[in-house]
Amino acid sequence: MQSGITHIVAVASGKGGVGKSTVAMNLAAALSHRGKAVGLLDADIYGPSQKRMLGVAEDVMPEQIDDKRLRPVAVHGIKAMSMGFLTDEKTAMVWRGPMASGALVQLLEQTEWGNLDVLLVDMPPGTGDIQLTIAQKAALSGAIIVTTPQDIALIDAWKGIEMFRKVQVPVLGVVENMSIHVCSACGHEEPVFGQGGGDRLAAEYDVELLARLPLSLAVRESADSGQAMVMAQSDSTEARIFLKIADALVSNLGDASVPTSPTITMGDD
């Protein structure tokens, strides 16, 4: 692994559509806002979303340094790498598991990340091949689990937590996303996806609930327009929540023991 990276942190959940990519992008921007050197690896090989979320133009390609190494795309103070930079958004990703895992390891290892305080890995949904590959090859300092309060998402979040525990990756905290909807007309609050799920998860698995992020038009719109909340609306509740998550992550990383002997091997396996 590249010696310049202090911490690699996965942003994960068992389920798709709960906001992993949204949280990963906004958290990366919040860490950068706090002066950290941040990288973001989009590990969703089949459905990369960071090109759009970061607002990277269609024709931008990572610069090739030599036949092995790529320079990450610098955007909003974040060093980013995604399969979306290398393939067409509409290209059907029909790779089998081992090929996808191989491509991901290449993206991780052949990107010239330089010095980073934190490399965030935006994980694809599930607890299969790709997740295990990352957990094993990336020498993760920890994982952040994103969930909605909905039972079905919580069940998948449990599976995610258990997978990381199995491979000795500390879970640094849980983010409950879409926890409440605040009506922009009258201000009343509605728990669209249920209530208290993040608390239950945190209590049951003895992990910290880092934040509750509301279901918010601003979050959706900013992500769709390639902006992070700390940039688009830096005074908003949502921006403050992402900064709070960033601060909690930095503090929890201080407590987490850094893996001392990463088992990285280059080449096929």
Ligand X SMILES: Nc1ncnc2c1ncn2[C@@H]1O[C@H](COP(=O)(O)OP(=O)(O)O)[C@@H](O)[C@H]1O
- Interface residues with Mg ion (CB under 5 A) are 20-21
Query: What mask, x for binding ligand X by CB under 6 A, covers residues 38 to 77?
Result: -----------x----------------------------
- Using CB under 6 A, pick the residue from 8, 10, 18, 153 that binds ligand X: 18
- Count of all residues that appear for the chain in the document: 269
Residues 6+ apart with CB under 8 A from 162: 127
Size of the site for ligand X (CB under 6 A): 16
186 binds, options ligand X, Zn ion, Mg ion, none, Cβ within 5 to 8 A by partner type: Zn ion
Q: Which does 166 bind (CB under 5 to 8 A by kind): Zn ion, ligand X, Mg ion, none?
A: none
By CB under 6 A, name the one of 5, 7, 9, 21 that touches ligand X.
21
Please give the single-letter amino acid code of residue 135.
A
CA dist list (Å): 46 to 84, 96, 97, 217: 9, 10, 10, 26
Instruction: Report what 183 binds from Zn ion, ligand X, Mg ion, none; CB cut-off 5-8 Å by kind.
Output: Zn ion
Site for Zn ion in 174-193 (CB under 5 A): 183, 185-186, 188
148 binds ligand X (CB under 6 A): no
- Residue number with the smallest Cβ distance to Zn ion: 183
The answer to the question of residue 128 lying near ligand X (CB under 6 A) is no
Residues contacting 29, CB < 8 A, separation 6+: 76, 77, 78, 228, 229, 230, 231, 242
Which residues of the chain form contacts with Zn ion (CB under 5 A)? Answer: 183, 185-186, 188
